[in-house]
Structure 1
Amino acid sequence: MNSMHFYTIVFFLCMCLLSVHCNGWWMWGKKGSSSSCPRREAAQPYYFGNTQIDCLLSFLIRHRGKRSAPWRGRWDLVHRFIYYRGKYFEFFDDSSVNIGNGRVGGHRCGGGIEGSPAGYSELSLECIERCTNRYTASFGGYNLLLNNCNSFVNRLSEVLCRRGTQCPSWCG
């Protein structure tokens, strides 16, 4: 077997192994809609949002110091966040999280929340803050392929889409 053929096979096997950890073969684009996490009495909407990745990365380098719930592609080339009850929830490549009134780099970088809600939730803001703060303890640090900002928003979407007001046990 020639070496080119061998490397092609190795590459294909690696891609297959990576896909085991993914939500499907095609990781780009929107998946699900608010109909899979419908409006309920006393529930508040939550939104997916994004920031242009090239702008955010340059901003962060200068300033260092996402029934099935709706989800977004794990390998989309944008930085994703969740917007819920007036707060932004973000996960970064240094495994830090941000909970704030604005998105990191939002004053300089394009992006924003999507036009329609991803779903609706009855959970308290305090619950989602605890989940965000416990994220790395429960799911590990940042990994570009397996645990990135898109993975983070998809997990928060699963939490937000739960029925009722009980916070998941992993959130402490």
Structure 2
Amino acid sequence: MTFESIAVFCGSKTGNNPLFAAHATSLGYLLAEKNITLIYGGGNKGLMASVANAVMEKCGKVIGIIPQVLTEWEHQHEGITELIVVETMHVRKRMLYEKCDAAIVLPGGYGTLDEVFEMLTWNQLSIHDKPIFILNSGGFYDGLLLHVDKMMREGFLYDQPAKSFTVISTPEEIFHYNQ
């Protein structure tokens, strides 16, 4: 599958490890260079800003989708190609996932985990069937991946985790799957 648009789910904070922001910026540059539209949460803070600003710096296309309630917290990004303000988080997540060909998850907090598990659930229920990549920057998701393995061993998952998502260590690796 050739990706024309990729949804990026990530934190509205940068986290403590400088690698997180470096990976977000690198991913943004790569998306722009490969003419792939960034679909993201519309914020102008944290890793969200890092990836969006990098795409814009290289004259790429960025579509941000943000619920009205978060325009104060995440400070909507006014310098992107298109900003869509929606009523609720549910509408945001649905639109993000509908507008993309694939999704990549960078480090983040509760909201990022909420988004990744909703996408995984939608794929499991055949609501969508889009590739999901987890960028395990500096081992950020190691604990989560161990827990997912435990869910499989304990009999709570229908498929092997490798069928649900692909774990990558660098932003460049996603393009091995963009055929």
Task: Specify the TM-score bucket, using the shorter chain as the normaliser.
Answer: under 0.3
TM-score by length of 2: 0.23
TM-score by length of 1: 0.24
Bigger radius of gyration: 1
